[in-house]
Structure 1
Amino acid sequence: MDTPVLRLFRPDDAPWLVEQHGVHYARAEGFDDSFGPLVARILDDFIADHDPDRERGWIAEADGQRLGSIFCVRLDETTAKLRLFLLVPEARGRGLGRRLLDTCMGFARDKGYTQMQLWTHESHRAACALYAATGWQLTDSKPVHSFGVDLVEQSWKITL
């Protein structure tokens, strides 16, 4: 595999992202088919209404194949939210997740955000370990029943 490149998200990436999130989380965690439509709504909102100066999405790809994504969206003037962080299984363990995370956080910092937040599930252990290793703080954790399964929902934040 060639060295992956990070490029800006394009609207034609949306169907791939919806499919990958749906397939991956159904296979890995037993999510039902309500997860894909949530991802589709997030992407539809981003495409329709994002501020290209302060909000951005990236796609990682190599050899013409998409490998992952990450998004930085505005919560308020000083806070950005990390969204839709995903790596396909065959791209994991090569530092690509760290590159995506560093790119997203660097963008947020450069655009004047002073903090970031994210929402995830405890079962996403590799991502949570990466957040902790890069200075993110777990701020809330609670059991929920979402997407047809019992999960532990987590909120994280970091000062940039």
Structure 2
Amino acid sequence: MAVQEVRAFNRFYTNLIGALDYSKHLYTPYTLTESRVLYELAHATRTDAADLRAELSLDAGYLSRLLTKFERDGLVGRAPSEQDARRQRITLTRQGREAAALLDERSRDAVGSLLDRVEPARRPQLTDAMRTVRDILQDTPASIPGRGEPLLRDPVPGELGWIVQRHGAVYAAEYGWNTEFEGLVARIVADFAQHHDPQVERAWIAELDGRPVGSVMCVRDDATNATAEANVDTGTDTGRGTSRGTGTGADASGIRDETPGTARLRLLLVEPGARGHGLGQRLIGTVVDFARQAGYREVTLWTNDVLTTARALYERAGFTLVSERPHHSYGAELIGQDWTLPLREPAVPQEGTAP
């Protein structure tokens, strides 16, 4: 079934691109392949002939003939590479840059005409789907042109729901956890949305190429809630339960304690396609920095032994494993773990005083 779907998509997209290419080249003298070479020369950081051949999957002889034609037409210049005299460095001339700019303009116009047929509200859905295809099928995601550093920011409306959906989908796919887990994450997120104190509690979304690829929360953890929450741990770097784990900050009398004590790191998630580039460590560091600036004494978290990558990140950030116990949750037998990171140096007793 998957093979048939891919083949059907290929036929559809080939026909679509063929129509775009016709309009793009209607008033230019360059073939599709020639246009691709001009585009790469105008935008790529490496312009050796060997790099062009590899990037565009072109036959060496064909590329050589094409470059000879470009050189004859005054579009490119060729010279030995500064790094390796055996390689040819290809550069666009002024006329070549003008030709590439014209092609780029025509291409933008053609794609713009296509997008005019798509409702504005559905365009993000279209581009997200295209990124997904590219990320899954590309061998080296980090080499995608224009891909920069992820942006960490506050969630916008709709993204708290994204946190719930992605936690449910990712942990079901990677660990086989059932919908009990997704329901618990939904309650955690709803509690945060309704009750969090923005002075000492915060959520972050990691954005890459205009879409969310990760999340984390820093919430206030009340000692008065810890016992009540002990049996509803989420088991996923999300922390404990929903019993105001964001923290009311109030004692039994209802009087709020304005000095935060323990922060809890929750809902840490990095999309599979965005892993391996330090984003998880950056999200953890952001929580720790925020907690320190907010005046917390320590940061704690709850996770499970099966989350080996996350545990390694916590340990690298300075967290220490303080306790663990087995439990059955989300359709699996797990070993829950508590980790803690002190943010303040313990007070040193003065001479002659009790410890």
- Kept after mapping to 2: 8 A contact 1:11/1:47: no
Specify which of 342, 350, 354 is matched with residue 159 of structure 1: 342
Aligned alpha-carbon RMSD (Å): 0.9
Structure 2 residue 179 is matched with structure 1 residue 33: yes
Secondary structure in structure 2 of the residue aligned to 1:34: helix
Kindly provide the CA deviation profile for residues 5-40 of structure 1, in whole angstroms up to 9, marking residues without a partner as x.
000123421221111100111111110111111111
Match of 1:125 in 2: 308
Please identify which structure carries the higher helix content: 2
Larger RCO (CA within 8 A; separation ≥ 6): 1
After TM superposition, the structure 1 = structure 2 runs for residues 48-59 of structure 1, keeping only pairs within 5 Å, are 48-59=194-205
Secondary structure in structure 2 of the residue aligned to 1:72: strand
- Note the C-alpha offset of 1:75: 1.1
Match of 1:89 in 2: 272
- Kept after mapping to 2: 8 A contact 1:9/1:56: no
Structure 2 residue 192 is matched with structure 1 residue 46: yes
Specify which of 187, 192, 208 is matched with residue 62 of structure 1: 208
Specify which of 114, 133, 155 is matched with residue 297 of structure 2: 114
- Kept after mapping to 2: 8 A contact 1:67/1:91: yes
Unmatched 5+ residue regions in structure 1?
A: none
Secondary structure in structure 1 of the residue aligned to 2:267: strand
- Note the C-alpha offset of 1:109: 0.2
Q: Which residue identity is paired with 2:314?
A: Y
Q: Give distance in 2, aligned partners of 1:80 and 1:11.
A: 24
Q: Structure 1 segments of 4 or more deviating over 6 A?
A: none
Kindly provide the CA deviation profile for residues 77-127 of structure 1, in whole angstroms up to 9, marking residues without a partner as x.
210000000001111110111111111100000000010110111111111
Q: Give distance in 1, aligned partners of 2:339 and 2:330.
A: 20
Q: Give distance in 2, aligned partners of 1:7 and 1:98.
A: 16
Larger displacement relative to structure 2 (62-71 or 9-18): 9-18
Match of 1:16 in 2: 162
Q: TM-score, normalised by structure 2?
A: 0.44
- Kept after mapping to 2: 8 A contact 1:8/1:59: yes
Q: Identity of paired residues, percent?
A: 46
Q: Give distance in 1, aligned partners of 2:203 and 2:293.
A: 15
Match of 2:262 in 1: 79
Q: Give distance in 1, aligned partners of 2:219 and 2:160.
A: 16
Match of 1:149 in 2: 332
Q: Which residue identity is paired with 1:40?
A: A
Q: Give distance in 2, aligned partners of 1:9 and 1:84.
A: 13
Q: Which residue identity is paired with 2:219?
A: V
Unmatched 5+ residue regions in structure 2?
A: 1-146, 223-259, 344-355
Match of 1:105 in 2: 288
Match of 2:93 in 1: none
Q: Give distance in 2, aligned partners of 1:157 and 1:146.
A: 22
Q: Which residue identity is paired with 1:93?
A: G
Q: How many residues align structurally?
A: 160
Q: Give distance in 1, aligned partners of 2:324 and 2:301.
A: 12
Secondary structure in structure 2 of the residue aligned to 1:2: coil
Q: Which residue identity is paired with 1:68?
A: G
Q: Give distance in 1, aligned partners of 2:181 and 2:205.
A: 20
Q: Give distance in 2, aligned partners of 1:106 and 1:11.
A: 25
